[in-house]
C-alpha cells in the first residue's frame, strides 16, 4: 500500500525521527534512508521534509546537531537525541501504544 508522499503528519514523522535516532547519531540523509528502510519502503516521504522536522525537534530541545564527517568523508550535520529527547520518546511511545490498544479493542467489538 503506497501512501501519498505528503501523507505523513508531523507528529508521526517526529516520532519516527526520534526513534530512529535512538540507536545513535545520524545525518539528514542517513536518517531519511533509515526511515525508508525501516518502514520497508512503505512510507515514501520527500526526504527533504526531515529537515524542517529536525529543526522543530531542535527547538523543543529533544535533539542536538553537530557538524561532523560522514562515512564518505563528507562534511555533514549529525543529529543525536538528548536526554530530554529520550524521555519524550518514551512518553510518546507509551501514548501510541495506549491509543493503539484502545483502537484495537474498539475495532474488535462486534456491532
**Identified binder of another protein from the candidate list 25, 76, 82, 86, rule CB under 8 A:** 76
- CB closer to another protein, 2 vs 59: 59
Starting from the edge strand earliest in sequence, which strands make up the sheet with 75-81, in order? 26-27, 75-81, 63-69
Asked if 44 contacts 2 with a C-beta cutoff of 8 angstroms, the reply is yes
C-alpha cell, 75: 562534511
Task: Single out the segment in contact with another protein by CB under 8 A; choices: 11-19, 56-64, 87-95, 99-107.
Answer: 56-64
Work out the number of other CB atoms within 10 angstroms of the CB of residue 34: 17
Among 25, 39, 49, 82, binds another protein (CB under 8 A): 49
Residue 3, interface with another protein (CB under 8 A)?
Answer: no
> Are 29 and 99 spatial neighbours (Cβ–Cβ below 8 Å)?
no
Footprint on this chain of another protein (rule: CB under 8 A): 5, 27-30, 32-33, 44, 46-49, 51-52, 55-56, 58-61, 70, 72, 74-77
Amino acid at each position: 500500500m503506497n501512501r501519498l508522499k505528503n501523507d505523513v503528519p508531523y507528529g508521526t514523522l517526529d516520532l519516527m525521527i526520534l526513534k530512529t535516532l535512538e540507536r545513535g547519531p545520524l545525518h539528514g540523509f542517513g536518517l531519511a534512508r533509515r526511515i525508508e528502510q525501516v518502514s520497508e519502503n512503505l512510507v515514501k516521504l520527500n526526504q527533504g521534509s526531515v529537515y524542517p522536522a529536525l529543526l522543530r525537534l531542535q527547538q523543543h530541545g529533544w535533539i542536538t546537531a553537530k557538524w561532523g564527517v560522514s562515512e564518505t568523508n563528507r562534511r555533514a550535520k549529525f543529529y543525536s537525541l538528548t536526554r530530554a529527547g529520550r524521555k519524550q520518546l518514551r512518553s510518546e511511545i507509551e501514548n501510541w501504544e495506549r491509543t493503539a490498544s484502545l483502537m484495537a479493542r474498539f475495532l474488535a467489538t462486534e456491532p
